[in-house]
Amino acid sequence: MHISDIKNYLRCPRLYQLSLQDEYRPFPYFNINIDVDESIRKKLDIDRYYEGIANDNNENTLRAFREYDWLLKCRFMYRGLRVRVPVLFHDGNECWLYFSFLSTAPTEGELTNIKWTCAVMEHLGFVIKGINLIHLNPDYVRHGELNHKKLWHISDSFYNDNNNPTRNVLDAYHKTRFNLDARLDEFLHFDLDDEDPVIRTNKCTGRSKCRYYDVCFPEESQLPDNSILNLVSSQHKYEMFNSGIKYLSDIDLTHFEGSAQQYAQVMADKKGGLYFEQLALQSWLSENSSETMSFFDFEWDLFPFPPYDDMTVMQVLCFQYSLHIEKDGKLEHKQFIGMDDCRQRFIEQLIEDVPKEGVIFAYNAKGAEIMRLRELQEAFPQYHDQLEQIIVRVVDLANPFIKGMVYDVRMRGLYSLKVIQAMIDRDYSYKDLDVSTGLEAVAIYRRIREESDPDQRNKYYQDLYEYCGLDSYAMVEVYHWLQSLVKP
């Protein structure tokens, strides 16, 4: 067993059970373009070291202790619990541990892995003298060859959300020490065949919805569109549901947070399924209309390690856009896909393709397209003014939904472009495409670089064109649907 098993068990025993029954592998969201271990070795000036391998036992690790001061990816095991230390320096049985993170500011949320690892080592007789965090330097900008010394930062403290140091890691570990044997006894005596009833708790959703949520509660997917369980941002919806309140229109106002989105949901149910605030939506559409209207969407990949000059750590690289332009009742489509360092070509083509006047729509624009354009402005200041002329005209098409101007119960409490487009156009949706999500698009983009078969490469390009093209076309459909709601 590994710490991941312990963490799953602590969150929910059923999560641990289910995780043993499948081979779930999360999508590698980061595009890792360097040898991370080698980079860390260069940071720490490690020349002579032992590197552990999968399934190493304590005997092999202890033998390495006698021959090397530095150990990388070394394994330890106690009562069946296997842990791994990314980097370890020792003087006898006194150890200094280094935990690596692909982030710029590791928080105390990372303490669980650290404390279980240290607890195992202490039970094996090692003395923990120091704990350091190796993380990406947020101020690093690449110029020329990757500078491994400047790429990483070493800290003995966690950080808060403002990237300021908080508690010392070793102190935090000492203050959260626990009875390892007692915890392992509880874990090892857990009956995997236990059929206790499935109980919903806040851990089922928490900061992120459990990937097995629909397995545990399959009945929820069968609930009607106007179910109270589709109420967004509600702390009390399950309480209301269990008390017999099943539908949005029957909501208990004493347990109603009263956000604009919630109000729109309740009103939609009361009005037969659709609610829109006529004057507010009409005013928004009037303010955001022009003779020429553009709708664009970007696709990008995320690099923890900057692959090209003037890129920072944890920065994205835009590799595609789709642009639909509507003028005089005619719809024109333009698009771009680039490989390698295509940023400048992306900028130049976008400036050429986007009309010089008129509203430009994007969906969730502030956290996506506008942010990407700002990053490109910083990296290529020679295009700053031209990109600014685009940025100031961008309007977020998600606003009517986010601000509660419009809600259709068929949205089921979801506000993504895919959900709304599928609701509007039943004949053509993302389900008809070979690539139907942003992560799948990124995966295809990465495969293109490695694909030698020209026919397969062309197929990948076509898949990307269709997916991103539907994103921008879907916005056209959504805009016209909103218009149709307020027409006399």
Confidence band for 38, pLDDT divided at 50, 70 and 90: very high
Q: Where in the chain is the domain with CATH 3.40.1350?
A: 32-188
Whole-number percent of the chain with pLDDT over 90: 72
Condensed to tens digits (0 to 9), the pLDDT of residues 194-215 reads: 777 788 887 887 777 888 988 8
Q: Which of 411, 392, 391, 393 is nearest to 401 (CA)?
A: 411
CB proximity list for 227: less than 8 A, separation 6 or greater = 220, 241, 246, 247, 248, 412
Whole-number percent of the chain with pLDDT over 70: 99
Q: What's CA 476's distance to the chain center, in Å?
A: 26
CA distances from 401 to 104, 263, 416, 482 (A): 33, 12, 10, 10
For the record, the structure tokens of 186 come out as 């509880």
- Alpha-carbon distance of 457 to 463, in angstroms, equals 10
pLDDT recorded at residue 260:
92
Q: Which is higher by pLDDT, 336 or 218? A: 336
Average of pLDDT values for 345-366? Answer: 96
- Alpha-carbon distance of 293 to 285, in angstroms, equals 12
Average of pLDDT values for 116-145? Answer: 95
Confidence band for 141, pLDDT divided at 50, 70 and 90: very high
Q: Where in the chain is the domain with CATH 3.30.420?
A: 273-488
DSSP string, 263-329: HHHHHHHHTTSEEE-HHHHHHHHHHT--SEEEEEEEEEEEESS--STT-BTTEEEEEEEEEEEEETT
Q: Does residue 428 carry a pLDDT above 80?
A: no
Q: Does residue 24 carry a pLDDT above 80?
A: no
- Alpha-carbon distance of 88 to 46, in angstroms, equals 11
Task: Please tell us whether the domain made up of 32-188 is placed in CATH 3.40.1350.
Answer: yes
Q: Does residue 337 carry a pLDDT above 90?
A: yes
- Alpha-carbon distance of 125 to 422, in angstroms, equals 60
- Lowest average pLDDT, out of 134-138, 175-179, 347-351, 381-385, goes to 175-179
Q: Does residue 437 carry a pLDDT above 90?
A: no
Cα four-point dihedral sign 27, 29, 34, 37? negative
pLDDT recorded at residue 363:
96
pLDDT recorded at residue 51:
95
| Strand partners for 332 | 325
pTM for this model (two decimals):
0.88
Indicate the CATH number of 273-488 among 3.90.550, 3.30.420, 3.30.1890, 1.10.150. Answer: 3.30.420
Condensed to tens digits (0 to 9), the pLDDT of residues 48-63 reads: 999 999 888 999 999 9
CB 83 within 8 A of CB 1: no
- Coil, strand, or helix at residue 411? helix
Condensed to tens digits (0 to 9), the pLDDT of residues 230-256 reads: 999 888 888 888 889 999 999 877 777
Q: Is 279 left (phi over 0), alpha (psi -120 to 50) or beta?
A: alpha
Q: Which is higher by pLDDT, 448 or 21? A: 448
